[in-house]
Amino acid sequence: EVQLVQSGAEVKKPGESLKISCKGSGYRFTNYWIGWVRQMPGKGLEWMGIIYPGDSDTRYSPSFQGQVTISADKSISTAYLQWSSLKASDTAIYYCARHPSGYDRSPFESWGQGTLVTVSS
């Protein structure tokens, strides 16, 4: 069974850095694109970007390029979403999700449980 387990909720101050994680199991981690989706409070879903853990090929939404960093450590089957300097507007639930194949033009088939990030002074 494919499982994506995300790290726990975070409360941070503006300007702080943060790295949240998503551990995959039940499949060959290196062979499937995995990505991140944001949901701000009371808002809809936003596609942020994806990474292919096999070679770290990464694609970002123009809206998130330069604002976050997506990475993966294939040795521990874990993907990451990272901020160097958080803003209050980064407050949101962040979902990781996996493509159903190694093809980059795919929907998200399997999802993590979400990580709530709260940024407040």
Least Cβ distance, residue 53 to other proteins (angstroms): 18
| Residues in region 35-94 near other proteins by CB under 8 A | 37, 44-47, 61-62
Applying CB under 8 A, the span of 12-20, 21-29, 69-77, 100-108 interacting with other proteins comes to 100-108
Q: How far apart are the first and last CA of the chain?
A: 40
Closer Cβ to other proteins, 63 or 85, answer by number: 63
32 makes contact with other proteins (CB under 8 A): no
Among left, alpha and beta (phi > 0; psi -120 to 50; other), residue 88 is alpha
Structure tokens at 105: 């033009």
Least Cβ distance, residue 99 to other proteins (angstroms): 9
Q: Where would I find the beta strands (DSSP E) of 7-105?
A: 10-12, 18-25, 34-39, 45-52, 57-60, 69-73, 78-83, 92-98
Size of the site for other proteins (CB under 8 A): 18
Least Cβ distance, residue 14 to other proteins (angstroms): 27
Least Cβ distance, residue 109 to other proteins (angstroms): 5
Residue 25 to residues 4, 41, 74, 118, Cα–Cα distance (Å): 7, 29, 11, 27
- Which stretches of the chain bind other proteins, using CB under 8 A? 37, 44-47, 61-62, 95, 97, 105-109, 111-114
